[in-house]
Amino acid sequence: MGEIIDGKKISSQIKEEVKSKIDELKSRGITAGLTAVLVGDHPPSQVYVGMKSKACQQVGINSEVLKFPQDTSEEKLLSLIDDLNKRSEVHGILVQLPLPPQIAEDKVIQRIDPRKDVDGFHPFNVGMMIAGEAVFLPCTPFGIQELLLRSGNDPSGQHVVILGRGNLVGRPLSVILSQKAPGGNATVTLCHSRTKNIGELAKEADILVAAMGKPLFVKRDMVKEGAVVIDVGVNRIDDPQAKKGYRLVGDVDFEGVKDITKAITPVPGGVGPMTVAMLLFNTLKAAKLQKEI
Give me the active site residues, please. 52, 96, 119
Please state the closest distance from residue 72 (CB atom) to ligand GUN, in A: 16
CA 171 to chain centre: 12
Please state the closest distance from residue 198 (CB atom) to ligand GUN, in A: 23
Q: Which listed residue (61, 77, 93, 119) binds ligand GUN by CB under 6 A?
A: 119
53 binds ligand GUN (CB under 6 A): no
Please state the closest distance from residue 139 (CB atom) to ligand GUN, in A: 5
140 binds ligand GUN (CB under 6 A): yes
Restricting to residues 141-170, which ones interact with ligand GUN according to CB under 6 A?
168
C-alpha distances (whole Å) from 218 to each of 35, 88, 111, 269, 281 are: 36, 46, 38, 18, 31
201 binds ligand GUN (CB under 6 A): no
Q: What is the torsion angle, in degrees rounded to the nearest 10, for the CA atoms of residue 267, residue 118, residue 24 and residue 30? A: -140
251 binds ligand GUN (CB under 6 A): no
139 binds ligand GUN (CB under 6 A): yes
Who contacts 158 (Cβ-Cβ below 8 Å, separation ≥6)?
186, 187, 206, 207
96 binds ligand GUN (CB under 6 A): yes
117 binds ligand GUN (CB under 6 A): no
Q: Is the dihedral of CA 96, 101, 103, 106 positive or negative?
A: positive
| CA 267/CA 13 separation, integer angstroms | 19
The residue type found at 289 is: L
| CA 208/CA 253 separation, integer angstroms | 13
Q: Which backbone phi and psi does 262 adopt, to 5 degrees? A: -80, -40
User: Taking CB under 6 A as the rule, which mask of x and - marks residues 4-33 in contact with ligand GUN?
Assistant: ------------------------------
Binding part of the chain for ligand GUN, among 2-10, 88-96, 201-209, 236-244 by CB under 6 A, reads: 88-96
Residue (23 or 106) nearer to ligand GUN, CB: 106
Please state the closest distance from residue 128 (CB atom) to ligand GUN, in A: 18
| Total number of residues that touch ligand GUN (CB under 6 A) | 9
C-alpha distances (whole Å) from 100 to each of 33, 74, 156, 179, 236 are: 26, 9, 40, 34, 20
Please state the closest distance from residue 174 (CB atom) to ligand GUN, in A: 17
Please state the closest distance from residue 58 (CB atom) to ligand GUN, in A: 18
Q: Give first-to-last CA distance, the chain, whole Å.
A: 46
Q: Checking phi first, is residue 244 left (phi over 0); if not, alpha (psi -120 to 50) or beta?
A: alpha
Restricting to residues 266-285, which ones interact with ligand GUN according to CB under 6 A?
275
The residue type found at 177 is: L
Chain residues in the site for ligand GUN (CB under 6 A): 94-97, 119, 139-140, 168, 275
